[in-house]
Chains A and B, each alone.
Chain A
Amino acid sequence: MTSLLEVENLSVAFGAMRAVDGVSFKVEQGETLGLVGESGCGKTTIALALMRLLRDAALDGSARLDGADLVAIDEKAMRALRGAKIAMIFQDPGTSLHPMIRVGDQIVEALRAHLDMTKDEARRRAVDLFRKVGIAAPEHRLRAFPHEMSGGMCQRVMIAMAIACSPRLLLADEPTTALDVTVQAQILELLRDVTREAGMSVVLITHDLGVVAGMADRVAVMYAGLIVETAPTETLFAAPLHPYTRGLLRSIPPLDRGWDEPMPTILGSVGSAFGAVGCRFAPRCSLATDACAVAPKLERIAKGHFVSCWNAK
């Protein structure tokens, strides 16, 4: 069986800065992959590269989606794939919608760009989609402008647009970060339902390990432009092997403890780890040894569990 998405040795460079420095991963049919890491680690850059939305970046490597290499194909071919096979939802729903066009017209435009539909057909489909993403009174809501809707409602519109043409792969970049927790719970539930129903694969980008725990089948942890560990979700949380993954998991304040103990921390900050020789996490790692002067490769430890650390054996 071949995977839906196979990314191999993908690099993204902005001038001399290699924001993504040779990452490889696969996403199976119907699978949700959680991509986690702190700001600046390259997770959004990967998504934007897969969508080919980076204008001034040099891409290298390959990313095969259903046979087509997203890195190599020309813009015309990419246009045909965007929305139809691969779609993306963004962190801030407020700025991802055109502020001066009614949301209904935006979704109709997207539908007609990809599917051979009349205006009326597209409008009917838009009503169905709005209903599907839980927007009450959809006919009425189609006429709304983004500023007349709440953040949660805008994110529902974004989801409706993203799934409008039934893409095979959905890239969800921090889809609930800008939302309140009670609304976040609603949107996550919605995302889970619509993607599961359609058998859609998802790359869920987030810094929130709690979100990943509930949503992802598998997790890839990024640090300074590299994937440092990947494992099935339960394995990653139960037996993390990379010191960075462990640090991340430990720095979540537990609800049922606290106050008396200080939080365990990861020393320092990412700083200038990009492009460093040797293991990029070594300067912050309590386990670092001389061996870490040589960059470790992502190695298989168990079925589906890969880690790049000399000390994680």
Chain B
Amino acid sequence: MSDALIEAVGVTRHYKLAKGRTVRALDGVDLTIGRGATMGLVGESGSGKSTLGRTLVGLQAPTSGEVRWEGANTAATEGARLTALRRQRQIVFQDPSGALNPRMTIGDTIVEHLRVQGWSRVEARRQASKALEQSGLSSAYLSSYPHEVSGGQRQRAVIARAISTDPAFIVADEPVSALDVSTRAQIMNLLRDLQRMRGLTMLFISHDLSVVAHMCRDVAVMYLGRIVELAPRAALFNTPLHPYTAALMSAIPVPDPVRERSRARTVLEGEPPDPAAIPSGCRFHTRCPSATDLCRQVDPETRLLGVDHQVACHHPLEHARL
């Protein structure tokens, strides 16, 4: 992509456990997100999606590989340029209650965030109320404590903090998972509006494919530390190539009793393996309905099928051409 804003190049992130065991949370991730793009990231718990998000915004350093911002390795950025880079990359967390200090007002939380990034007190206050208003909360909420507002409003406050530094890139890590259905739609619309209004580049992480599908043009599917498939939304949903993606979609309950009861469904056996003991060969072969000896031995490379459909599978699914 010519205009890549942020890229992960061969990124790994390992965590050492006791007894010499290592969790390979990210195990060779390549991901390019173009300026102004909305990339969805789905996968089950333990797939590494949050670790990837945190690594992209710089909350964690990769064990190996590079995170590049506008083509330059972020690990080599220092001084004032690093401060600027921090402002540019922000994150919205899943649980708005845990993401806000319960003993600080919403205003103080945002102002502190801005002060750390170099704003003066006066500018920070102005910037905070502007961000709150753009997030759908009046500046009256500056003096509210997190417990005084609803879950949806708390998430608006967390979003306000993230946009207060005028970032170019936002990682939204399960931003609506802790919210009720009706509030969820409001927050999704807010993120969508902010993305458009500000031309934000966004990585939207969720375990819920339907939420991701609604928010993003492109969707990447993670399994045990790798991206196994990446494609534009429609291609991924209509013609998934990786058996895992297909199974994931078939596992989502459809809110339509007639379709839900009649559709064919592949129920995957077993559960995602322990990320400290990733299977040999293709990491999905232990649960894959079409695994062969090749899959047990050789880890498939990511390859490009068609114009923009990437998949890491020896036996991608075939779809009848229409």
Contact surface of A with B, Cβ cutoff 8 Å:
38-39, 150, 152-153, 180-186, 188-189, 207-214, 233-234, 237, 247-249, 251-259, 262-266, 269, 271
Contacts and interface: CB of A to CB of B under 8 A. Distances in A.
Contacts of B32: none
Contacts of B207: 180-181
Interface of B: 44-45, 150, 152, 180-186, 188-189, 192-193, 207, 209-211, 213-217, 233, 237, 247-258, 260-261, 265, 267-268, 271-272
Contact of A185 (B210, B237, B265): B265
B258 A234 contact: yes
16 contacts: A180-B272, A181-B209, A181-B251, A182-B248, A182-B251, A185-B250, A185-B253, A213-B256, A214-B254, A237-B256, A251-B184, A258-B213, A259-B216, A262-B193, A265-B185, A265-B189
A249 B255 CA distance: 8
Contact of A183 (B150, B183, B256, B271): B271
B261 A38 contact: no
A184 B211 CA distance: 17
Contacts of A209: 181, 255
Contacts of A234: 257-258
A211 B251 CA distance: 11
Contact of B181 (A237, A252, A259, A262): A252
Contacts, number: 126
A209 B192 CA distance: 23
Nearest to B258: A234
Contacts of B233: 258-259
Contacts of B216: 259
Nearest to B238: A256
Contacts of B260: 210, 213-214
A211 B45 contact: no
A39 B271 CA distance: 28
B319 to A, nearest CB: 16
A237 B185 CA distance: 19
Contacts of A252: 181, 210, 255
Contacts of A237: 255-257
B268 A264 contact: no
Given A181-B252, A182-B268, A182-B271, 18 more contacts: A182-B247, A185-B250, A185-B251, A185-B268, A186-B267, A210-B252, A210-B253, A213-B257, A233-B257, A248-B182, A252-B210, A255-B237, A256-B237, A262-B193, A263-B185, A265-B189, A269-B150, A269-B152
Interface centre among A181, A188, A249, A262 (most CB of B within 10 A): A181
A230 to B, nearest CB: 15
Given A182-B268, A185-B268, A38 B253 contact: no
A208 B253 contact: yes
A182 B268 CA distance: 6
